[in-house]
Amino acid sequence: MEIRLQAERRYDTGKGVSRKLRNSGMIPGVLYGSGIEPCSLTVKLEDLSDVIRQYGGTNVLVELEVLKGEKSETHLAMIKEVQRHPFKDKVLHVDFMKVERFEEVTTKVPIMISGDEQSRGIRAGGTLQHILWEVEVECLPSDIPDHLIADIEKLAVGEHLSVRDLIVPPGVKVLTDPDDVVLTILAPRVAVAVAPEEEVEAASEAPRQGTQSKGEKET
């Protein structure tokens, strides 16, 4: 789905300028990509937040209208990266990448697990270990999937699922090594019980501080 988003060309840069923009409800950003020189811009935090909330943020395809005074230019672009504050729920910067509608792009998409409630391995007491969280794909901008599915319903304890096992929609080519392990189901840990008599025996054999054997009396 394509959505419209308005931005304004920005000529002043620097940390101080960016801080003032964020304080006024604007987010600094940059537009780069196919056939254009990189340029700085700003978008309204409210508009950007709506896009992130409704469409998930990165890899969203937008018709980006960039205002330059009384003129404007519209570019087909992807939200490539949203930079956030390390510990505050706050957007700091956004990157837009201009794309061509009929030229393939390379990007990363997340992996979503399905079938975990019916998984053979988990129902048998196994523990899911998630190793790979995203893969690199190549496709047309309009074909970029929100995620790829890792179906673990039939996965038993001790088995793993590789990149080649992901469910990939038509028109999408996965570039990540097909042998890379996405996840595995570990065997349940077995607790070793210690019998009471073994505990007593172990305690009796432990050395005691401050004692001496009969043959070790001081002379």
Domain residues of the chain, as ranges? 2-100, 106-186
Residues 6+ positions from 185 with CB-CB distance below 8 Å: 119, 121, 122, 126, 127, 128, 129, 152, 155, 156, 157, 158, 159, 160
Comparison of pLDDT for 190 and 5, the residue scoring more: 5
Predicted local distance difference test score (pLDDT) of residue 197 = 60
Q: What percent of the chain has pLDDT over 90?
A: 60
Helix ranges (DSSP H) in the chain: 15-23, 45-55, 120-123, 196-205
Handedness of CA 142, 146, 148, 152 (dihedral sign): negative
pLDDT at residue 214 greater than cutoff 50:
no
The correct answer on CATH 2.40.240.10 for the domain covering 2-100 is yes
DSSP state of 49: H
Comparison of pLDDT for 192 and 51, the residue scoring more: 51
Backbone phi and psi for residue 37, each to the nearest 5 degrees, phi listed first = -80, 140
- What pLDDT, in 10s, does the model give residues 165-177? 999 999 999 999 9
The correct answer on CATH 3.40.190.10 for the domain covering 106-186 is no
Predicted local distance difference test score (pLDDT) of residue 199 = 57
Give me the mean pLDDT over the 195-201 stretch.
Answer: 58
Q: pLDDT-derived band of residue 183, with 50, 70 and 90 as boundaries?
A: very high
